[in-house]
Amino acid sequence: MSENVKIVRLDDYQLAYEVYGDGDTNILCFHGNSRSAEDFKFLARPNRKVISIHLFLHQYSTFSAHRIEDGSVHLDDVEKLLRKILENEKVEQFHWCAYSQGGLFSLSLFPLFAAHVKSFYLIAPDGLNNNSFYSRTQHQRWAQKLFKRWVKKPHELENVIKFLVKIKVLHPKMIEFIEFYTSDTKVLKMAHDTWKGFRNIRPDYQKIKETLDNFPDIRFNLIIGQFDKIITVKSAQRFLKKIGKDDRLLIIPHGHNVFKPEIQKELFYILEMK
């Protein structure tokens, strides 16, 4: 285990995080599915302390297997664990940055921590639409059985996606996205387990709207890749309209994966954290 890794516990939960840099400026980060807390290491500077969370089922962040089946990963438990981290690191005020699946947790937790937040940056976040096909099928038994089958037979999933692309239901970019998961059974199983296990983590859009209205000093921005076919510009626009923040969208000329050296340099200057 890296010397940067620290752990907090609550019942059967174990939530790991890494700390990079030091200083009075604190940045809390949540990474995406199948990625790592190390994604945000590039934000650290001598005067900046980056606290980057390992999402559950990634690296050292774990819980009992039954929580995947019964969906008993609850927001109030995650809140308690996060408060432990902030207490351990002696953090009162912080900037918040989240990517992809980390955005689902961050959007859900944000109203509970807003009094401590200086800025809130979402990069291609999950959780923009609780009524999407992805979200609705998380609670459907037929979908759960089908996904479980595809973990054992990933070629079937590839064929389904290729067919949907062929009949123009999905964008061709989705083939590349799915092949990333189906090329590694461990990665595909993680996608299944997080999809199923996190099904009761849901952002409350009305609370988010009220929170941003009540804390107007929080710098809030949603960053989307112009060529992202996973979290699209249109989905971001619909979400921002829902919470009354139409002007908080920043479109960058990239796809979904923004954690590449040349893009990180661009992100560093976009994410204004002082």
* 4-24: pLDDT as tens digits: 799 999 999 999 999 999 889
Least confident of 116-120, 181-185, 189-193: 181-185
Residue 191: what are its φ and ψ, rounded to 5°? -60, -40
Residue type, 271: L
pLDDT digits (tens, 9 = 90+) for 62-96: 999 999 999 899 999 999 999 999 999 999 999 99
* Per-residue confidence band for 1, with pLDDT thresholds at 50, 70 and 90: low
Length of the chain: 274
Helix or strand holding residue 237 (H, E): helix 233-242
- The residue behind tokens 């907090």 is 8
User: pTM of the prediction?
Assistant: 0.90
E-strand ranges in 131-236 read: 219-225
Residue 21: what are its φ and ψ, rounded to 5°? 75, -175
**pLDDT at position 23:** 87
Residue type, 166: K
Tell which residue, 15, 2, 106, 31, has the closest CA to residue 63.
15
Contact 231, 174 (CB under 8 A): no
**pLDDT at position 181:** 74
What's the first-to-final CA gap in the chain, in angstroms?
Answer: 31
Separation CA 63–CA 166 (nearest Å): 40
Instruction: Identify the DSSP state of 218.
Output: S
